[in-house]
Amino acid sequence: MQDGGAVVGFSYYDLMARLKVRGPDNAAARLSEIAKWYDEVCAAGGYRAYYNGTREGTLQGGGTAGGLGADQEFFESLLLPQILFDGFLGFTPTATGFTLNPALPAAWPEYTVTRIRFQDSILSVHATKDAFEVTVLESATLPGKPALVTVDASKWKPAEAAGTAAEGRWHVALPKKGEALRFVRP
């Protein structure tokens, strides 16, 4: 970045902050604005064609000084889509498994992420306002303890009696291949 410019990937941090401070509706509205801009960029033929001097802004990269880092050496642009996984799905890896805390905007009645690679398993997570389900699509048999899905006990509880509650959190073992684990609002 040069001359007070910006990097597209850093919008991830803006969106995560909006999600935590102003809520999912605010973060989704900003993400929608970014998606609209990106549609314009694609319609123009990409970043280089979009910032060709006919509109405000200059593109930095490949040795060229400019105000916006979006392509070439700016690999952090890959951070932006992570808001869908880390933010709205609330997926965070832990030493014993992962936590989930879906935060859906009001305009999203449901949200599904499939083909999540976690350790030696492939998962799918389907969330609504009042529940979410983790399904194990594929799994390799590993020795030792199964991974734990952890949720905030003030927001979620297992739909069926399973796992343990400790320090304000539920800890539930990831099920076997073909099985699902469901959480509901308390």
| Measured CA angle at 9 (ends 16, 91), to 5 deg | 40
Instruction: Please tell me the predicted confidence (pLDDT) of residue 103.
Output: 96
Q: Which residues have CB under 8 Å from 85's CB, separation 6+?
A: 91, 113, 116
pLDDT value, residue 130: 96
In this predicted structure, what is the pLDDT of residue 80? 86
What is the residue extent of each domain of the chain? 6-81, 89-184
The pLDDT score that the predictor gives to residue 62 is 64
Which pLDDT value is given to residue 110?
97
For domain 89-184, the CATH class is mainly beta
Output the pLDDT for position 70. 65
- Ranges of residues in the chain with a pLDDT under 70 are 1-7, 61-75, 141-144, 161
Task: Quote the CA–CA distance of 186 and 164 in Å, as a whole number.
Answer: 15
